[in-house]
Amino acid sequence: MSRLVLVTGASSGIGQALAAHALEAGDRVVLVARRVELLRAWAESLPQARGRIALYGTDVRDTRAMAEMGRACIAAHGVPDVVIANAGISVGMDSADFEDLQVLQDTLEINVLGLAATFHPFIAAMRERRAGTLVGMGSVAALRGLPGHGAYCASKAAAVAYCESLRGECRPHGVRVLTVSPGYVDTPLTQGNPYPMPFLMTPEAFAASAWRAINAGDSYRVIPWPMALVAKLLRLLPNALFDRLFAGRPRKPRRAQ
């Protein structure tokens, strides 16, 4: 049976791969991103999906605009069966540099507030229907704070905790919340990383695994699974050993670099 799937951050990378997988499964897809012209170009390249794609050019940081988008989506297409809050950014920062405080603010607004703003318009309707799935994008970076990566690690730790809280709130109403935590995926967010990226995945492989987790009714999934083992080991390391292990490691490029 065809589902209605909404995906934010769908103009490239993971979001586009998740949307493509849904279309291949025969679902209807609502795509949300700031760069709506990129969404339109991609949608027009898929004539086989014509009539099954709706586009909204909305910034997830604009909570009022996201609420309006949600109301318009429900009015035009119905309540989504799956909402995937995928929009996110990853930029290195140095807290000693005043300009990088803006990097922290932008990252938290997009990766955390944007996630909540994506879910908000649909929660009440899903609860009333007693069905629906909300998918939040976490990261294995949520488990330990990596030097030079404070904004991203903090935002993903907050996103994971938020989704866990929301899961408990929604479960009595028949609404599922899934947190998907990627390892390294070959997207524009990671292609400039100056350090090794073990178990690097293509967006398509990641999307296939994520959809298996969605369809299985999972509540939390690290993709790929070997990264879950690595993340757990890193979490168990004493701080002194963890600090020595990452001392001198190349850092995520900053916005000004």
Catalytic residue set = 152
H or E stretch including 41? Answer: helix 36-44
The rounded radius of gyration (Å) of the Cα atoms in the chain is 18
- Tokens found for residue 112: 């955390």
Of 174, 88, 84, residue with least CA distance to 135: 84
Residue pair 223/181 in contact by the 8 Å Cβ criterion: yes
Residue pair 60/8 in contact by the 8 Å Cβ criterion: yes
Q: How far is CA 207 from CA 41, 45, 211, 237, in A?
A: 21, 19, 6, 30
At 54, the amino acid letter reads A
